[in-house]
Amino acid sequence: MADKKLQIAIYWGAACGGCDVSILDTNEFILDVDALCDVRLWPLAADGKYKDVEAMADGELDVTIMHGAVRNSENEHMAKLLRQKSKIFVAYGSCAYMGGIPGLANLVPREEIFARAYLDNPSIEPGNRTVPLSETTVNGHDLEIPKFYDRVYKLDQVVDVDYYVPGCPPQPDQCKAAILALVGALTGTAEAPPKGAVVGAFDRALCDDCQRTKTEKKIKRFYRPWQIMQDPDTCLMEQGILCAGSATRSGCGVRCPNSGIPCRGCYGPAPNVLDQGAKLLSAVSSIIDSKDPQEIDQILEGLPDFTSFANRYGVPASLLQRSHRQ
């Protein structure tokens, strides 16, 4: 072990906190990290200050692990600042890697979000017409709240990212593996992964690790998860239940299918897949047993709202990135 401890920062953008919990979920390993590293900024457990970060020399931090997407100027500012101060910058979790669930907001107009929250809603104060404003004056006091970007960005649309750790959140053992890989690279005990690599996951699709039996069976109808008692041994797709396993990178331990629940793709696109949704689209169409356009439409009625499955964890990472409705 090198004499000098590694300097690390763990920070969040627009995140839910689940990624922090996934780091906590490595349990005793946290103490190892503490022994190995100086945690210079981690809102969870350490006492770093923003101005300390500003005062750091460029590259003073060995690693920044950032989770959460970018949806306002502060997220962007901190991402850029930490990038500048860090040798290695890691996008941790689906939000950072692909935009995550909050990225679904890229499919709806911002004004509708406001209307739903403040005007048209069963528990709003009767007759309310007030909506929040970014600048207001109350009793002569000027008040501001930040303006938010119109859409959600994944981290590498804003800063240069060296490595990605997928998952919503990453599973703790993979979190451990990813941290160990980085520590190995920094201390010279292991070869550094190539820039842009996905760490803490495997180079194969989830289906490759799923134990359920696949028989190339085709289907005449789709079932929504509540419409059928699934058989625990057969591929969910072949039972007519949409499962994103073939479009998704393996790494989670096949958690959802092993619990009788279809995969929704939180580990991001399988290796060499440019757009997870397009890949899932191909997989879904190839399982349909019909050559008749009308019958195909009928079968697809059992699968409403395909779009929200296509890029469930990464509308910002899809080729189209957001709705283009004028």
Considering only residues 215 to 244 of the shown chain, the ones binding ligand SF4 according to CB under 6 A are 235-237, 243
Instruction: Kindly tell me which of 101 and 179 has the beta carbon lying closer to another protein.
Output: 101
Amino acid at 89: F
Question: Largest Cα–Cα distance in the chain?
Answer: 71
Listed in sequence order, the residues at least 6 apart from 214 whose beta carbon sits closer than 8 Å to its beta carbon are 207, 235, 238
Listed in sequence order, the residues at least 6 apart from 26 whose beta carbon sits closer than 8 Å to its beta carbon are 33, 172, 175, 176
Could you say which of another protein, ligand SF4, none residue 307 binds, taking C-beta under 5 to 8 angstroms by partner kind? Answer: another protein
Instruction: Kindly tell me which of 131 and 190 has the beta carbon lying closer to another protein.
Output: 131
245 binds ligand SF4 (CB under 6 A): yes
Q: Which of 6, 56, 96, 100 binds another protein (CB under 8 A)?
A: 100
257 binds ligand SF4 (CB under 6 A): yes
Do 298 and 78 touch, CB atoms closer than 8 A? no
Could you say which of another protein, ligand SF4, none residue 229 binds, taking C-beta under 5 to 8 angstroms by partner kind? Answer: another protein
Instruction: Kindly tell me which of 34 and 58 has the beta carbon lying closer to another protein.
Output: 34
Instruction: Kindly tell me which of 12 and 97 has the beta carbon lying closer to another protein.
Output: 12
Could you say which of ligand SF4, another protein, none residue 248 binds, taking C-beta under 5 to 8 angstroms by partner kind? Answer: ligand SF4
Do 237 and 287 touch, CB atoms closer than 8 A? yes
Across 220-254, b (16+ Cβ under 10 Å) vs e yields: eebbeeeeeebeeeebbbbbbbbbbbbbbbbbbeb
Q: Which of 10, 39, 75, 100 binds ligand SF4 (CB under 6 A)?
A: 100
125 binds another protein (CB under 8 A): yes
Q: How far apart are CA 169 and CA 171, in angstroms?
A: 6
Amino acid at 286: S
Judged by the rule CB under 6 A, the positions of this chain that interact with ligand SF4 are 15-16, 18-19, 67-68, 93-95, 100-101, 168-169, 206-207, 210, 212, 214, 235-237, 243, 245-246, 248, 252, 254-257, 263-267
